[in-house]
Amino acid sequence: MKIITARKKPFLFLFIGLLTALGLYLFNPLAQETMTADESERFVLNMVTGEFKSETESGEELESYRWDPGTLVIPKGEPVTLSIFGVNGKEHPFIIEGTDVTGTVKKGEETVLHLQFNEPGTYRLICTTHATIENNGPMIAYLVVK
């Protein structure tokens, strides 16, 4: 019968080596956190309604409404959440030209749109109340799909 004996020193080094490797794996400062598609399911964009007011030398009041920012770049084929918060103006009914999307942004409220553009191009977000200069506009934003 053979008896196998083991020295403590090699096992101690092996244990310390495994513990060090585990520590480097768990606490690596260079590691980058990744997300699955479910966690980052949508590209989120934020927009607000804004207003400019001025007075001419003759006392005439000038007023113009706008979307801010006025241009958004959206990835083609990706689900997008567009959140629009109403800051100025009672309400802004809108359409997105080239789509069936319509809605209304009301002062003090958030309007959330879930969009996906499969064709590249520039889509205009138009407030139908302020679509022209004569109606304190044009209140148009450009959604650039690339």
Question: 137 in a domain, yes or no?
Answer: yes
- pLDDT over 50 at 44, yes or no: yes
pLDDT reported for residue 33: 56
77 lies in some domain: yes
The answer to whether residue 51 is domain-embedded is: yes
Q: What is the pLDDT of residues 81-117, one digit of tens each?
A: 999 999 999 999 999 999 999 999 999 999 999 999 9
Do the domain assignments include residue 116?
A: yes
- Domain hosting 135: range is 43-145
Residue 91 burial class via C-beta count within 10 angstroms: exposed 0-12, middle 13-18, buried 19 and up: middle
- Which ranges constitute the DSSP H helices of 60-128? none
Q: Is residue 1 part of a domain?
A: no
What is the C-alpha to C-alpha distance for residues 94 and 129, in angstroms, rounded to an integer?
A: 8
CB crowding 27-54: b at 16 or more within 10 Å, else e: eeeeeeeeeeeeeeeeeebebbbbeeee
Give percent of the chain above pLDDT 90. 71
Query: Which pTM does this prediction carry?
Result: 0.70
Is the model's pLDDT at 28 over the cut of 70? no
Q: What total of structural domains would you count in the chain?
A: 1
Residue 7: per-residue pLDDT? 66
Q: Strands 43-55 and 79-85, how do they pair?
A: parallel
Q: What is the pLDDT of residue 5?
A: 61
What contacts 112, CB < 8 A, 6 or more positions away? 81, 82, 83, 84
Q: Specify if 84 maps to a domain.
A: yes
